[in-house]
Amino acid sequence: MKKRSVKLVIVGSLALDSVETPFERKKDQLGGSVSYACAAASFFARTGMVAVAGQDFPSAYTDLYKRFGIDMTGLTLVKGRTFRWSGVYEANMIDRRTLSTELNVFASFSPELPDSYRGASFVLLGNIAPALQLHVLEQVKKPKFVVADTMDLWINTAKKSLMEVITKVNMLMLNDSEIRLLTGEYNLRRCAARILDWGPEYVVVKKGEHGALLFSKKGVFIVPAYPVDEVCDPTGAGDSFAGGFMGALAGSSRISENTVRESLLRGSVVASFTVEDFSLKSLAKVSRSDIKKRIAELKKMTSTA
Amino acid sequence: MKKRSVKLVIVGSLALDSVETPFERKKDQLGGSVSYACAAASFFARTGMVAVAGQDFPSAYTDLYKRFGIDMTGLTLVKGRTFRWSGVYEANMIDRRTLSTELNVFASFSPELPDSYRGASFVLLGNIAPALQLHVLEQVKKPKFVVADTMDLWINTAKKSLMEVITKVNMLMLNDSEIRLLTGEYNLRRCAARILDWGPEYVVVKKGEHGALLFSKKGVFIVPAYPVDEVCDPTGAGDSFAGGFMGALAGSSRISENTVRESLLRGSVVASFTVEDFSLKSLAKVSRSDIKKRIAELKKMTSTA
């Protein structure tokens, strides 16, 4: 049977996370950048996941993906154990320490796109090795808007292929410490100017609880973070932001500075729901109207009127 | 001769600062919360300074106050040395270490208001001992809007009088670590809710380079920071923000959630100029039209349109 084609393809890590906060401890929760990003995007556009899991991956989690309406044609189940990560958050719920990383089946991940994904216009290259990001991009026929995320590991160990990724994407999204490491600049405006020179039209600098900054030739957009009453677990906030953004952009009628800004607000709001519970628990309960309501609130919070 | 009455009274420390950044070292610069706050406020309203300096206070600095149009009737020059502070900034230009504090004449500061100040409608109680803040407030006949700033020192050593200050002001303004210390809560929304229960109509949480948050019964306003190209010296940013805000509010036709929000944007913009040079050097060169231009830019940076 021919699969319904997807509008947005997201590749990234799929993991079972064991997370410890000052208040709770959870074992083998559904996690990984691709889980958060796909769930977040699914509110706005038909999203296809490219990921690998082991035989031990609980069917409850694939059921959950289904409930989000995520296309799983690109999810490969292989012999072995699923990637596992465990970490502990400090009292401020921001700083975290990794306790262990078991790559398992993720170590030999080679992302292959099903045919139904190759016509996608939107591609989110989640945080995986730059060589794999390039491999995914090569399989998409005519991408209209590509975003890449990255991390310090690749900046330190695979800079050459990362630079190749950067020249091929429309937007680079990374956090403040990563962009400083990548560019050797400290001031964020200067960091972003450097990257805009390398090719991307847009640079998004994620600042966690303080929101994000969008830089483009058209100037700066200050992306506010929705202030939540209680952060339960910040894991996946950045990936939800990226996924929510790309889903919203893929669901927009056109790509412009205006729709990019509007989509970033949507990403920010989806991320604010993510941190209110562990794993995808909060997102699983959220409706599109909950999201709309928070977007309206967030707009009021940044308006003087 | 009868003095022209002032609209806004600002009390605070007046200091000669020796500042070391990774790039430069400056000795005996004009500093102190009252200097920054009065200079910032002077763009918008007739501002009177309440402060004390020693005989060594350079006349070049009183000349500078005059050029800002600051009313100095409440500035007392006494026998002894002016308050001195010295500190060094880390490479990130945010974290700083105090090298020395010499209170000198500031140790016996007892702020007395000249008659021409007692009819002021707006009062900014800069960061001094809460008992002195109360003493200032008692001398103002009919204050319409009072803001108090404070710091960890007073939270730790003078909590009782600080609590009395808090019940008497319209707005408490402090930074994120201070509000956490004061309330024993971590989440900023909860911290603010606690303080709103104690009396003030408004709470402003300053977050440095990430802007600030305004909390009131009407909700949250996210005050953006104007992203500057280069931070030369962050000293005085918070005081400029507070002073610019109070000046703008004192210059408004009425006090409302809307004018409070608009005035906070003005404070944020004035602070963005302050950090671009040492001491008051940048503010001394800024015009009202420079400020207007940056406010318009900042509004564009927070609008999706």
d(CA B230, nearest CA chain A) in Å? 7
pLDDT of amino acid A2: 53
- The CA distance from B111 to A74, in Å, is 72
pLDDT of amino acid B75: 97
- The CA distance from B209 to B188, in Å, is 17
pLDDT tens profile B10-48: 999 999 999 998 888 999 999 999 999 999 999 999 999
pLDDT tens profile A184-229: 998 999 999 999 999 999 999 999 999 999 999 999 999 999 999 9
Taking alpha carbons only, the member of A275, A238, A297 closest to residue A12 is: A238
* DSSP annotation string for chain B: -PPPPPSEEEE---EEEEEE-SS-EEEEEEESHHHHHHHHHTTTS-EEEEEEEETT--HHHHHHHHHHT-B-TTEEEESSPPPEEEEEE-TTSS-EEEEEEE-GGGGG------GGGTT-SEEEE-SS-HHHHHHHHHT-SS-SEEEEE--HHHHHH-HHHHHHHHHH-SEEEEEHHHHHHHHS--SHHHHHHHHHHHS-SEEEEE-GGG-EEEEETTEEEEEPPP--S--S--TTHHHHHHHHHHHHHHTSSS--HHHHHHHHHHHHHHHHHHTTSSTTHHHHH--HHHHHHHHHHHHHHT---
- The CA distance from A154 to A218, in Å, is 29
- The CA distance from B222 to A48, in Å, is 35
pLDDT tens profile A88-132: 998 887 888 999 999 999 999 999 999 999 999 999 999 999 999
Q: Give yes or no for residue B86 having a pLDDT over 70.
A: yes
The mean pLDDT of B70-92, rounded to a whole number, is: 94
Task: Report the residue of chain B nearest A219, measured CA to CA.
Answer: B301
pLDDT of amino acid A94: 80
Contact A219 B300 (CB under 8 A): yes
pLDDT of amino acid A118: 97
d(CA A187, nearest CA chain B) in Å? 7
Taking alpha carbons only, the member of B159, B154, B109 closest to residue B135 is: B109
Low-confidence residues of chain A, pLDDT below 70?
1-3
Question: Would you say B236 and B284 are in contact if contact means Cβ atoms under 8 Å apart?
Answer: no
Residue B230 at interface with chain A, using a CB cutoff of 8 Å: yes
pLDDT of amino acid B2: 53
Q: Tokens 């139904």: give the residue.
A: A116
Alpha helix (H) residue ranges in chain A: 33-41, 59-68, 130-138, 152-157, 159-168, 176-183, 188-198, 237-250, 257-274, 281-285, 288-301
How does residue B122 score in pLDDT terms, banded at 50, 70 and 90? Answer: very high
Candidates A210, A215, A299, A304, partner chain B, best to mutate (most B CBs within 10 A): A304
How does residue B3 score in pLDDT terms, banded at 50, 70 and 90? Answer: low
How does residue B1 score in pLDDT terms, banded at 50, 70 and 90? Answer: very low
What is the average pLDDT value for chain B, to the nearest integer? Answer: 95
Name the residue facing B227 among A186, A189, A229 (closest C-beta): A189
- The CA distance from A201 to A167, in Å, is 10
Residue B302 at interface with chain A, using a CB cutoff of 8 Å: yes
Mapping DSSP to helix (H, G, I), strand (E, B) and coil, where does residue A76 land? strand
Size of interface A-B (CB pairs under 8 A): 76
Query: Judged by CB atoms within 8 Å, which residues 264-283 of B form the interface with A?
Result: 265
What predicted TM-score, i.e. pTM, was given to this entire model? 0.93
Contact B227 A221 (CB under 8 A): no
Q: What is the percent of chain A with per-residue pLDDT over 70, rounded to a whole number?
A: 99
pLDDT of amino acid B23: 86
Give the CATH number of domain A8-301; options: 1.10.10.10, 3.40.640.10, 3.40.50.2300, 3.40.1190.20: 3.40.1190.20
Residue A186 at interface with chain B, using a CB cutoff of 8 Å: yes
Residues of B whose CB is below 8 A from A262: 304
Residue B63 at interface with chain A, using a CB cutoff of 8 Å: no
Residue B181 at interface with chain A, using a CB cutoff of 8 Å: no
Candidates A194, A215, A302, partner chain B, best to mutate (most B CBs within 10 A): A302
Q: Give yes or no for residue B95 having a pLDDT over 90.
A: no
Element spanning A98, H or E: strand A96-102
pLDDT of amino acid B92: 80
End-to-end CA, chain A: 54
